[in-house]
A and B are shown apart, each in its own frame.
Chain A
């Protein structure tokens, strides 16, 4: 029974089926429980939330990653699967906390001041959440001083900054400078991304990392996490 429901969660994550309204790949799955319903049912059945995460969600995302590598899956597939994991993690979070299981880390995400283009930031948020991080999205056009307040309050492990315009990418430096002025710069790793940015620009403004796309972001975040742990 346990194996059966874990397997069903896994299959639904692979298919990116959020809930019973989701038609699935071939349009014939409406009415069948999706990830939301299955995770709730698993908890109702008394299943260990850590087991759901490891054997249901993480294993499924591994398969999704493999399918992406072999070009059987495309970005929309990865995103849909990651989105289901994100929703499953929302449901599981209080139960995981009770069992003393921590998330992989906390990430604050923001599109910087003056920029309303938040698609990239939203996609990175979905993917990071799907990878097991706790993500708090501060939205678009977020001023440096607001970010400073939120970093102080939320104490994230990482801060992700996004900009689409050459005119707004300068706000990334302002944000990093504001963190330094507030004495918070060494408390949080800063990763940047967005069309006009680059690894060189990241180094120039004093960011800790740069990501070219959403999937690369997961790798960069993981590396920075490893570095932080190694430094402790």
Chain B
């Protein structure tokens, strides 16, 4: 049985059928004219071989590719409508079904900054007898040990369904060549949920897959239970197919591993600010990537990956906390559904650099709206601040609790003959008592999980102790053990997969916890 996620009872949609058809039409127009600029020769050749109009531009070392609608529609026919993301513990698998609005929440992204929290005591200047404990936040460079900690924590966050490495490993002995094997091993060795990541170096792809095969129990087992998957952002918006990520996409697709094909234009700078223009463009970009995947390997398990943002008005950086971000993303979820494809969507990023009221508002805004839209896989949902530049583990603990509430919010109503008759009986019974209280009927519903528990980080109600409580919760979760890769398998990985740092071997002395 896969993880349950939350099945959205009634999805929130912005576009009607006619508007979706218009967006589709506009995307097809974009792919036909102006088309895309392709910086990858192999991709240009593939498109050309299937009827796209390809014109070389030798001075810019790129190709203008005009893609006819028929090519895209043919590719969509072979694109899987259901994609399984496996897990070391198979009950943690995820089934992404394009026809079912079952929502899973995942982490991300590869932030450079890790934000620690400390509790410090401050004394009032006005009255030295008054002391207050407050949270202070301290940024530092993310390291391999932090990634292990993040995976450990993620394993114990109830509402984290899938794991994308939330921190960039910047240790001195981590290089472009050994980064992939180390980051995948650090994640896989500290959690039994699905692990997804981008690839730093294409040279390491086969070694990463080999590692996954050893853990899964062989090549066939990995195909049946793909415990890892990849993300490639093939486009540099607007409409430029990047050489490096396109090549990664081609090779991953050839190997049949699940792959998110994503695009991340910014409304106002690298895409139109207008909702229709932005969505038409990102849809064209994603469909182009998906089409390429199906021309290479029909039936390859790919996921429609939409990460549209809006330009910040003060710095032109990505803004995730504004309403337009939600407009764009909901529309993309709808467009994926229009094609019957599962959607990798985006929610839960705060623009502000530290946890607090602004972060909570910005995060909850998209957590609720994008979940309501029925996106199958919502990434960026845990711990992200500063427009995805910072990961804060205490914030991830807070987000986990808030996502738990979002899941409760989305529960389907139970209204049928039997339920109504039970309620009528209850009302009659209570009205016959002197106290006229329904309180005792809360208990069974509380125990069955139908009544949501109080806010997890509430203090004594006279002051806000949320950060202190969340910090305690984080420490408690990190005290819990995780199911590491068994010693014999771990030993085989270290023997057969070069480049993994010895300090990640928990069965040797001096390992990195």
Q: Is B truly associated with A?
A: yes
Residues of A that sit less than 8 Å from B by CB: 16, 18, 23-27, 74-77, 79-80, 83, 119, 122-123, 125-126, 137
Q: Determine the chain A residues whose CB is within 8 A of the CB of B444 once the complex forms.
A: 23-27
* A80:B443 contact, CB within 8 angstroms: yes
Interface size bucket, B side? 10 to 19
Interface string of B435-468 (1 = CB under 8 A from A): 1110110111011100001100000000000000
Could you say which of A76, A122, A137 contacts B440, with CB atoms under 8 Å apart?
Answer: A76
B434 at the interface (CB under 8 A from A): yes
User: What's the nearest-Cβ distance from chain B to residue A32, in Å?
Assistant: 15
User: What's the nearest-Cβ distance from chain B to residue A50, in Å?
Assistant: 27
Q: Can you report 23 A-B residue pairs in the complex whose CB atoms are below 8 A from each other?
A: A16-B443, A18-B440, A24-B444, A26-B447, A27-B444, A27-B448, A74-B446, A75-B439, A76-B440, A76-B443, A76-B446, A77-B443, A79-B437, A79-B439, A79-B440, A80-B439, A80-B440, A83-B440, A119-B437, A122-B437, A123-B437, A123-B439, A125-B435
Nearest CB to that of B451 among chain A residues? A76
CA distance A25 to B446 in the complex (A): 9
Q: Determine the chain A residues whose CB is within 8 A of the CB of B442 once the complex forms.
A: 74, 76
Interface string of B61-100 (1 = CB under 8 A from A): 0000000000000000000000000000000000000000
CA distance A27 to B437 in the complex (A): 20
Q: Determine the chain A residues whose CB is within 8 A of the CB of B439 once the complex forms.
A: 75-76, 79-80, 123
* B435:A122 contact, CB within 8 angstroms: yes
CA distance A27 to B450 in the complex (A): 14
* A25:B436 contact, CB within 8 angstroms: no
Q: Determine the chain B residues whose CB is within 8 A of the CB of A16 once the complex forms.
A: 440, 443
Q: A77-B446, A80-B443, A119-B437 are in contact. List 7 more A-B contacts (CB 8 A).
A: A18-B440, A27-B444, A76-B439, A76-B443, A79-B439, A122-B435, A126-B437
CA distance A125 to B436 in the complex (A): 12
Q: Determine the chain A residues whose CB is within 8 A of the CB of B448 once the complex forms.
A: 27
Residues of B that sit less than 8 Å from A by CB: 434-437, 439-440, 442-444, 446-448, 453-454
* A74:B454 contact, CB within 8 angstroms: yes
Q: Determine the chain A residues whose CB is within 8 A of the CB of B435 once the complex forms.
A: 122, 125-126
User: What's the nearest-Cβ distance from chain A to residue B256, in Å?
Assistant: 45
User: What's the nearest-Cβ distance from chain A to residue B299, in Å?
Assistant: 46
List of 9 A-B pairs having minimum Cβ-Cβ separation, nearest first: A76-B442, A122-B435, A80-B440, A25-B447, A79-B439, A76-B439, A76-B443, A80-B443, A27-B444
CA distance A150 to B413 in the complex (A): 48
User: What's the nearest-Cβ distance from chain B to residue A135, in Å?
Assistant: 11
Q: Which of B437, B443, B454 has the most CB of A within 10 A?
A: B443
Nearest CB to that of B429 among chain A residues? A21
CA distance A137 to B436 in the complex (A): 13
CA distance A122 to B430 in the complex (A): 13
Known contacts: A74-B454, A76-B440, A79-B440. The answer to whether A137 contacts B447 by CB under 8 A is no
Q: Determine the chain A residues whose CB is within 8 A of the CB of B443 once the complex forms.
A: 16, 25, 76-77, 80
User: What's the nearest-Cβ distance from chain B to residue A182, in Å?
Assistant: 27
Q: Determine the chain B residues whose CB is within 8 A of the CB of A77 once the complex forms.
A: 443, 446
User: What's the nearest-Cβ distance from chain A to residue B30, in Å?
Assistant: 55
CA distance A137 to B442 in the complex (A): 24
Q: Determine the chain A residues whose CB is within 8 A of the CB of B446 once the complex forms.
A: 74, 76-77
User: What's the nearest-Cβ distance from chain A to residue B442, in Å?
Assistant: 4
CA distance A123 to B435 in the complex (A): 8
User: What's the nearest-Cβ distance from chain A to residue B430, in Å?
Assistant: 11
User: What's the nearest-Cβ distance from chain B to residue A87, in Å?
Assistant: 11
User: What's the nearest-Cβ distance from chain A to residue B498, in Å?
Assistant: 49
User: What's the nearest-Cβ distance from chain B to residue A127, in Å?
Assistant: 11
User: What's the nearest-Cβ distance from chain A to residue B505, in Å?
Assistant: 39
User: What's the nearest-Cβ distance from chain A to residue B489, in Å?
Assistant: 38
User: What's the nearest-Cβ distance from chain A to residue B452, in Å?
Assistant: 11
User: What's the nearest-Cβ distance from chain B to residue A6, in Å?
Assistant: 23
User: What's the nearest-Cβ distance from chain B to residue A67, in Å?
Assistant: 13
Could you say which of A23, A76, A83, A122 contacts B436, with CB atoms under 8 Å apart?
Answer: A122
* B434:A137 contact, CB within 8 angstroms: yes
Nearest CB to that of A80 among chain B residues? B440
User: What's the nearest-Cβ distance from chain B to residue A12, in Å?
Assistant: 13
User: What's the nearest-Cβ distance from chain B to residue A90, in Å?
Assistant: 12
CA distance A79 to B440 in the complex (A): 7
Q: Determine the chain B residues whose CB is within 8 A of the CB of A119 once the complex forms.
A: 437
CA distance A192 to B140 in the complex (A): 54
Q: Determine the chain B residues whose CB is within 8 A of the CB of A75 once the complex forms.
A: 439
CA distance A23 to B444 in the complex (A): 8
Nearest CB to that of A212 among chain B residues? B461
CA distance A83 to B441 in the complex (A): 13
CA distance A172 to B453 in the complex (A): 35
Nearest CB to that of B453 among chain A residues? A74
Q: Determine the chain B residues whose CB is within 8 A of the CB of A125 once the complex forms.
A: 435
Nearest CB to that of A27 among chain B residues? B444
Nearest CB to that of B442 among chain A residues? A76
User: What's the nearest-Cβ distance from chain B to residue A144, in Å?
Assistant: 23
User: What's the nearest-Cβ distance from chain B to residue A11, in Å?
Assistant: 15
CA distance A125 to B433 in the complex (A): 14
CA distance A221 to B200 in the complex (A): 68
CA distance A27 to B448 in the complex (A): 10
User: What's the nearest-Cβ distance from chain A to residue B224, in Å?
Assistant: 36
User: What's the nearest-Cβ distance from chain B to residue A22, in Å?
Assistant: 8
CA distance A77 to B441 in the complex (A): 10
